């Protein structure tokens, strides 16, 4: 055997299958995500540049009051909740708010909620949305357009426009709702497969307000 070919042979035997496997799994994953979207056109809403997107991302990390590693409280009767889909440094296919990944979000009964969602994901078909519903996990491939007790719905936000964070424009949307009924809800990504296969959801708790205390006589 030609000795000079040994390094080439070694590469083909050891390195090439690894690199090919990495490429294949990445491609398969993209194909899977594309297939799950089912050909639905991405909703391209108003987009904002990085200068504004960065502020939204920061406000998401700072908002609420952390309660341990898994919960963020939003006390008060008027709250603003900012959520990032696929925030940098958080797991792929997840939501971030209060600096946590898919945390339990708590608001008070009767709170007027302004919910802002921004999609920081990148790549073809990497759309995300957010629906708040009482439907519990595990989720089917599609949660449908009208899940039970829906409090809010942002159907789909297009991925950011560039692989470079600072060069990209970002799709965002804001909805308002009143958390009238106490109970356990879930914020769920409605893009087919994102909740069922990737667990892109978290709990959303509307805490019952204390009954008014009777004044002492
Ligand atoms: Cu999603």
Instruction: Set out the domains of the chain in order of their start, with CATH numbers.
Output: 43-207 (2.60.40.420)
- Predicted confidence at residue 209, as pLDDT, reads 84
* Beta carbons within 10 angstroms of residue 31's beta carbon: 11
Residues 130-141, mean pLDDT to the nearest whole number: 97
- For residue 65, report the distance from its CA to the centre of ligand 1, in Å: 25
Q: How confident is the model at residue 44 (pLDDT cuts 50, 70, 90)?
A: low
Q: Where are the alpha helices (DSSP H) in the chain?
A: 6-10, 16-37, 50-62
- For residue 180, report the distance from its CA to the centre of ligand 1, in Å: 26
SS3 track for 16-55: HHHHHHHHHHHHHHHHHHHHHHCCCCCCCCCEEEHHHHHH
What is the distance between the alpha carbons of residues 129 and 151, in angstroms, rounded to a whole number?
14
Residue 34 has pLDDT above 90, yes or no: no
- For residue 158, report the distance from its CA to the centre of ligand 1, in Å: 10
- For residue 210, report the distance from its CA to the centre of ligand 1, in Å: 35
- Predicted confidence at residue 36, as pLDDT, reads 46
- For residue 144, report the distance from its CA to the centre of ligand 1, in Å: 14
Residue 189 has pLDDT above 50, yes or no: yes
- For residue 174, report the distance from its CA to the centre of ligand 1, in Å: 17
Mean pLDDT, the chain, rounded, equals 84
- For residue 206, report the distance from its CA to the centre of ligand 1, in Å: 23
What is the distance between the alpha carbons of residues 86 and 157, in angstroms, rounded to a whole number?
12
- CA nearest to 132, candidates 41, 204, 37: 204
Rounded to the nearest 10°, the torsion over CA 163, 165, 169, 171 is: 90
What is the distance between the alpha carbons of residues 32 and 132, in angstroms, rounded to a whole number?
25
Determine whether 25 is exposed, middle or buried from the number of CB atoms within 10 Å of its CB (0-12, 13-18, 19+): exposed
What is the distance between the alpha carbons of residues 173 and 157, in angstroms, rounded to a whole number?
8
- Predicted confidence at residue 18, as pLDDT, reads 35
What contacts 21, CB < 8 A, 6 or more positions away? none
Task: Tell me if the pTM is above 0.85.
Answer: no
- CA nearest to 139, candidates 193, 80, 62: 193
- Predicted confidence at residue 210, as pLDDT, reads 75
The answer to whether 157 and 182 have CB atoms below 8 angstroms apart is no
- For residue 191, report the distance from its CA to the centre of ligand 1, in Å: 5
Tell me, what DSSP letter sits at residue 165? Answer: G
- Predicted confidence at residue 8, as pLDDT, reads 40
């Amino acid at each position: 055997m030609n000795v000079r070919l040994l390094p080439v042979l070694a590469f083909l035997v050891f390195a090439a299958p690894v690199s090919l496997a990495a490429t294949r799994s990445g491609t398969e994953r993209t194909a899977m995500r594309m297939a799950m979207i089912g050909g639905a056109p991405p909703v391209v809403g108003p987009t904002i540049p990085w200068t504004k997107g960065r502020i939204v991302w920061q406000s998401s990390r700072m908002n609420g009051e952390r309660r341990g590693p898994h919960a963020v409280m939003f006390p008060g009767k008027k709250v603003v909740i900012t959520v990032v889909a696929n925030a940098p440094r958080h797991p792929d296919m997840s939501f971030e708010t209060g600096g946590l990944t898919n945390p339990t979000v708590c608001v008070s009964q009767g709170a007027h909620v302004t919910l802002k969602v921004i999609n920081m994901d990148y790549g073809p078909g990497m759309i995300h949305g957010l629906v708040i519903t009482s439907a519990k996990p595990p989720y089917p491939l599609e949660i449908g357009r009208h899940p039970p007790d829906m409090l809010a719905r942002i159907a789909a936000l297009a991925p950011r426009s560039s692989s470079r964070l600072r060069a990209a424009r970002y799709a965002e949307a804001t909805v308002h709702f009143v958390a009238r009924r106490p109970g356990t809800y879930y914020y769920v990504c409605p893009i087919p497969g994102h909740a069922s296969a990737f667990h892109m959801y978290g709990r959303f708790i509307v805490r019952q307000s204390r009954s008014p205390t009777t004044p002492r006589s």
